[in-house]
Amino acid sequence: MEIIKATSTKIKDVDFENLSFGAIFTDHLFECDFINGEWQTPTIKPYAPFLVDPSLKVFHYGQAIFEGMKGYKDENNDIWLFRPEENFKRFNKSAERMAMPEVPEEVYMNGLVELLRIDRDWLQKGKNHSMYIRPFMIGTGTGVIANPSNNYKFMIIMSPVKSYYAGEVKVIIAEHFSRAANGGIGYAKAAGNYAGQFYPTNLANKEGFQQIIWTDDATHTKLEEAGTMNVFFRINNTLITAPVSERILDGVTRKSLLDLAKRNGMDVEIRSVLVDELVEAAKNGSLQEIFGAGTAAVISPISGFSYKDTYYELPKNENPWSLQLKEELTNIQHKVSEDHFGWTFKV
């Protein structure tokens, strides 16, 4: 690996107590190019813009994938990652679906670890702080013929963040738009998946809702994801979430929360949840909680939902499962509590 250190640092200009999520990046980035069938020498170098050809395949045919993960610093100044092997496996699953080359594990993991070591001062201690890490890959071949790129660039950039508080989240259940379809790329973290959500989400925002709960493309009767997160429903004392599929992302936070809930003796069901079931549960009082789960916010509680122009407010629970699970998970991530699952990885 080639390492080119920055001659100066931006860290002195950063107010770590007032960070906009994902807006400020560390002094260095990692990159490795795939050219004519071979991965080249990995490089860590100063974070900076780079010039590209206007005919890059990523611009014209959308070959772009990414991951979202976090690093944490404990009270001993040790740095930890949370289940990085899951992100690595999912990254290459996305690459395969988008006809892109798989990244070798040593390139991905060694680059990630070395980048964190070099920019370790950017990661602050405490449960309010973490490092958001964005591995991504784009097609860098040139030309506007509609075929896969022959060259690619794999990069990792990092952004210091504080705990993510979305405030009160009201959602609308999708009756027309879909996030993904069978046979499509919904299970991949492809950039285009997220671009397709912006328009219907903007429409929801104009109606006073922060996010959408997506429904299946064929019937719009099955609840699938909330915004860019997996979604959980607590009906009576059972925690329910949809199974992963071609349409639903295999979230690392999702699977971790399921394991924590089972360890706590909570009743868990992995099955499709029908819109009619949710509406009926809201009407009869058995619907206790809805929350989204993902890397950025960990858990985002939902205060109510709208369907067919009727709004349903959720009850205010004194001890919601969502906050209990979030506390347990973040304690493991920050090494405040014992990691019984072996999820944490020391850098």
Give the per-residue pLDDT at 167.
75
Give the per-residue pLDDT at 138.
98
- Among residues 336, 284, 343, 282, which one has the least CA distance to residue 307? 282
Tell me the C-alpha to C-alpha distance, in Å, between residue 168 and each of 10, 181, 303, 309.
Answer: 34, 29, 6, 20
* pTM for this predicted structure: 0.96
Q: Where are the domains of the chain?
A: 2-163, 169-333
Give the span between the Cα atoms of 304 and 282, in whole angstroms: 9
Does CATH number 3.20.10.10 belong to domain 169-333? Answer: yes
pLDDT, tens digit, 9 for 90 and up, residues 285-325: 999 999 999 999 999 999 999 999 999 999 999 999 999 99
- Geometric angle at alpha carbon 170, from 263 and 301, rounded to 5°: 20
Task: Please give the average per-residue pLDDT across 75-94, as a whole number.
Answer: 98
| Lowest pLDDT segment from 130-134, 165-169, 213-217 | 165-169
User: Do 2-163 and 169-333 agree at the fold level?
Assistant: no
Q: Angle at which helices 84-97 and 105-118 pack, to 10 degrees? A: 130
DSSP track, 67-88: --EEEEE-TTS-EEEESHHHHH
Three-class SS state of 270: strand
Handedness of CA 281, 283, 289, 294 (dihedral sign): positive
Residue percentage of the chain with pLDDT more than 90: 97
Mean pLDDT of the chain: 96
Task: Please give the average per-residue pLDDT across 191-214, as a whole number.
Answer: 96
CATH dotted code for 2-163 = 3.30.470.10
Eight-class DSSP state of 18: S
Confidence of residue 269 (pLDDT cuts 50, 70, 90): very high
Give the span between the Cα atoms of 29 and 111, in whole angstroms: 9
Query: Amino acid identity of 270?
Result: I
Torsion angle of the four alpha carbons 173, 174, 179, 183, in this order, in degrees rounded to the nearest 10: 110
Give the per-residue pLDDT at 164.
78
Give the per-residue pLDDT at 168.
80
